[in-house]
C-alpha cells in the first residue's frame, strides 16, 4: 500500500519545495496551509489541497486522518523585521505543533517531522561578528530569540516528550536561513537574500544608486539553498536518528559580503544606506554541521554564489514580468 504524506505549511516556501520532491519520489501527498489557495507559492493538482487553520485541533484531527507521515513546516514567521515585531503571533504557532502531535496519537500516524530554527540558540553564543558554528547543545541553557525562538524550542521539547511518553517517532531539524526560488521577496516577511536581490534588481531597473541596508552590514549569517535543505530534511526524516540536528550551511558571510556577491551577479554596483535603527537580530550566527555529517553523512552542496544566481534570476523574472507577483509579495 502506498504511504500517504501530509505536508503542513505546503503553501509556503520550504513546504512547496518539499511537496514537489515527495511527488517526484512517487508518494501520495496531502497539503495544508492557512493561506487561501490562490496565495500558495506552489500548488500541485495531483494533491488534495486544503486551506485551513491548523491552530484548531478539529482541523488537525481531520487533516491527519489516514496519513502515515507528517512534515510540519507550518508557522507564522518571516524575516527579522517580522519576527521582532510580531512575537505573540509567532508564539501562537505552538498550537499548530501541539495539536498536530495530539492528532498523530489519535490517528496512529507513524512519524512526525518538526521544522525548528537556529533562532533557538543561546544569544550569548552569537554576540561576535564571526562566530564558531553553533553546536546542537548550545541551545541550553536556554536564551533563544524572543518570541519565535521560544516557540521553536518549546515545540522541540514537545516532540521529544511525545516520543518518550507515547512512542511517537519524531524528527527535528534546526534550519539556518533557507533561501531560494518560489518564496516571498517583498512585503515584510522576506529574508535577507531575497530582500537584497529585490533591492538591487529594482535599483538597477530604475537606475538608482543606493539601497537601504538594515544595520551596519557587518552582522553575519550562513544561508542554505533550498535544494540542500530538502535533501537534508528527507534524509533526517527517513533515518533512525532521533537527535535534533542542524540543517544549514557553514559558509558564514556578512551582509556586506552578500551584497558584493549580488552586485557581481547583477553587474551593478550600489551604495549602501545603513539604517542602524532597524531590526538586526544577533551579531553573528553560523551552523555547525559536524553532528549531521557523522549521523547522516549529509552536507550542503550549493555555494552561496551559486544559490544566489538562481534566486536572483527567478526574482528578476517575476519583477520584470509582473506575473503572479501578488502571491510572493502579499502581506498575509
Catalytic residues: 148
Whether 70 and 104 have beta carbons less than 8 Å apart is answered as yes
In the numeric block, the cell 504511504 is attached to: 3
- The answer to whether 329 and 202 have CB atoms below 8 angstroms apart is no
Residue among 261, 266, 258, 171 at smallest CA distance from 220: 258
Task: Give burial (CB, 10 Å; 0-12/13-18/19+) of 268.
Answer: middle
Which sign does the torsion angle of CA 141, 144, 150, 154 carry?
A: negative
* Secondary structure element (H or E) that encloses residue 245, with its range: strand 245-247
C-alpha to C-alpha distances, 247 to 2, 21, 47, 173, 266, nearest whole angstrom = 28, 17, 27, 6, 29
Distance between CA atoms of 226 and 78, rounded to whole angstroms? 16
Cβ atoms of 294 and 246 within 8 Å: the answer is: no
Name the nearest CA neighbour of 264 among 301, 226, 227, 303: 303
CA-CA distance, 312 to 208, in Å (whole number)? Answer: 18
C-alpha cell at 317: 523574472
Peptide bond into 117 cis (omega under 30): no
Amino acid at each position: 500500500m502506498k504511504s500517504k504524506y501530509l505536508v503542513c505549511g505546503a503553501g509556503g516556501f520550504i513546504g512547496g519545495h518539499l511537496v514537489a520532491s515527495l511527488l517526484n519520489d512517487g508518494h501520495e501527498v496531502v497539503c495544508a496551509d492557512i493561506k487561501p489557495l490562490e496565495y500558495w507559492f506552489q500548488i500541485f493538482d495531483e494533491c488534495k489541497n486544503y486551506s485551513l487553520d491548523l491552530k484548531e485541533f478539529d482541523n488537525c484531527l481531520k487533516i491527519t486522518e489516514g496519513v502515515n507521515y507528517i512534515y510540519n513546516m507550518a508557522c507564522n514567521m518571516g524575516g527579522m523585521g517580522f519576527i521582532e515585531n510580531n512575537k505573540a503571533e509567532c508564539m501562537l504557532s505552538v498550537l499548530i505543533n501541539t495539536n498536530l502531535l495530539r492528532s498523530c496519537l489519535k490517528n496512529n500516524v507513524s512519524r512526525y517531522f518538526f521544522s525548528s530554527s537556529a533562532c533557538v540558540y543561546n544569544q550569548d553564543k552569537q554576540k561576535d561578528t564571526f562566530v564558531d558554528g553553533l553546536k546542537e547543545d548550545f541551545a541550553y541553557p536556554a536564551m533563544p530569540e524572543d518570541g519565535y525562538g521560544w516557540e521553536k524550542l518549546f515545540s522541540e521539547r514537545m516532540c521529544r516528550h511525545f516520543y518518550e511518553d507515547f512512542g511517537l517517532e519524531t524528527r527535528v531539524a534546526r534550519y539556518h536561513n533557507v533561501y531560494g526560488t518560489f518564496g516571498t521577496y517583498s512585503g515584510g516577511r522576506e529574508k535577507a537574500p531575497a530582500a537584497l536581490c529585490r533591492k538591487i534588481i529594482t535599483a538597477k531597473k530604475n537606475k538608482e544608486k543606493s539601497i537601504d541596508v538594515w544595520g551596519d552590514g557587518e552582522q553575519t549569517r550562513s544561508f542554505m539553498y533550498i535544494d540542500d535543505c530538502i535533501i537534508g530534511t528527507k534524509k533526517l526524516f527517513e533515518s533512525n536518528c532521533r537527535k535534533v540536528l542542524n540543517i544549514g550551511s557553514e559558509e558564514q558571510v556578512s551582509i556586506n559580503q552578500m551584497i558584493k556577491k549580488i552586485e557581481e551577479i547583477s553587474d551593478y554596483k550600489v551604495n549602501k544606506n545603513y539604517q542602524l535603527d532597524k531590526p538586526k537580530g544577533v551579531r553573528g550566527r553560523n551552523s555547525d554541521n559536524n553532528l549531521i555529517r557523522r549521523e547522516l553523512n549529509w552536507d550542503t552542496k550549493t555555494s552561496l554564489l551559486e544559490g544566489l544566481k538562481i534566486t536572483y534570476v527567478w526574482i528578476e523574472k517575476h519583477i520584470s514580468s509582473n506575473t503572479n507577483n501578488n502571491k510572493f509579495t502579499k502581506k498575509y
